[in-house]
Amino acid sequence: DIPLFMTTNYGVYIVSEMLRLRIGNQAFFATLEALANQQYLSTTMLQNEFEKYSGLSLDNFFDFWIHGGFIPSVEITLHDLDIPLGDKPQSGVLGCVQSDVPFGIFEMPLRIQLTNDADQGSVQDVFVAISKGQGTFIIQNENSKSIDITVDPLGLSLIRKAKVSKGKPKQSCIE
């Protein structure tokens, strides 16, 4: 059993790290420095300052993670896909993401690792937007023999459970 005060503090740390990764170190720490001498601080003031220093709208982030407090589970199904690019279609993979939270908008970090026949690979870290419980992404993999997807590779998101599986070829995540 983990004491309640520890889980509450850990949640604040994780949400802070998610925000820092979203807006960058410079904006994150500049905001904290600007707020350091405040006697009173509301969530709205905090959001406004982070938006001011980052230049980003953080409505969705604060609505989902701060005001909503939801911890989603996600399931990603990978489908083979032909991507029409000019005269010569390229092969790819369509990633369909389903969340057990069917409302709100949040971003989920993924690490995509592609490996080719010579066992050389490339790694790309991306954020996938999940809106109303669904999200999609496409990976071009013209010369790749394998694709490995890691959900939340740094362990800095509040994702309850994540599953990645392979599905039948299709062109869209919408049935």
- Between CA 70 and CA 25, with CA 50 as vertex, the angle to 5 degrees is 95
Cα(27)–Cα(24) distance, integer angstroms: 6
> What is the C-alpha to C-alpha distance for residues 83 and 104, in angstroms, rounded to an integer?
29
| Residue with the two structure tokens 């092969």 | 91
Q: What is the pTM of this model?
A: 0.72
Beta bridge pairs of residue 139? 93
What 8-state DSSP symbol labels residue 79?
E
Q: How far apart (Å, rounded) are the C-alpha atoms in residues 28 and 13?
A: 13
> How do the pLDDT tens digits run along the chain, 175 residues long?
445 554 556 667 788 888 998 899 999 999 999 999 888 989 899 999 999 999 999 999 888 888 887 888 999 999 888 766 667 667 788 899 999 988 888 888 888 888 876 667 788 888 899 999 999 998 877 667 788 899 988 877 788 889 999 988 887 887 6
